[in-house]
Amino acid sequence: MDDIDLARMRRSYERMDLLETNVCADPIEQLKIWLQDAVRAEVPEPNAMCVCSCAEGRPSARMVLLRKVDAGGLVFFTSYFSRKGRELEQNPYAAAVFYWAALERQVRVEGLAQRIAEEESDAYFAIRPRGHQLGAWASEQSEPVEQRELLEQRMRDYESRFDGEPVPRPHSWGGYAIVPQTIEFWQGRPNRMHDRLEFTRAHGGWTMRRLQP
């Protein structure tokens, strides 16, 4: 099979522009608008975001699902003992990226990640599908395992353990909120002259500036 000619793969972004006059003064509200646009456009997994953590100078990234966004930050859930959980405990600075190819849009977020309240994690865990709840018990996230069958056996063990009763949230599992310090909105434009508007938190509010593409 011939190699893919990556160097010649390109498209022109021409859907829309991004001007200072048509964005919210509050970037959290603007992010909500763009998320709604992605949902209406039926973008697959519109709430998927790449979260990057960094410990000992070695960044790592992975896709997670945004579960809540408000003035308190961008909330996602994971095992506290997963690689990202351990890294965020060591260094709470994190970055997140959304990319909606169908809309030719990207959002970058940088800020501090902190655990949300136990009660909030409990409330979210309670609405998860039962299989997902059991999976949080069965999987020691990010740890090596010799074979798939061991995971499946652990799943069966916890199905038996909690048979006929609600599945409680493991104390090792819960939510983080990335509290933004900067948020950048990117809109693709022709000839790679993209629109980039960056918001920075300052003095209890937000300042906005345009960045060159």
Q: Which residues are catalytic?
A: 192
Separation of alpha carbons 6 and 140, rounded Å? 38
Please, is 133 exposed, middle or buried when counting C-beta atoms within 10 Å of its C-beta (0-12, 13-18, 19+)?
Answer: buried
Is the CB of residue 51 less than 8 Å from the CB of residue 60?
A: no
Separation of alpha carbons 127 and 131, rounded Å? 11
Amino acid at position 139, single letter: S
Is the CB of residue 94 less than 8 Å from the CB of residue 52?
A: yes
Separation of alpha carbons 33 and 195, rounded Å? 17
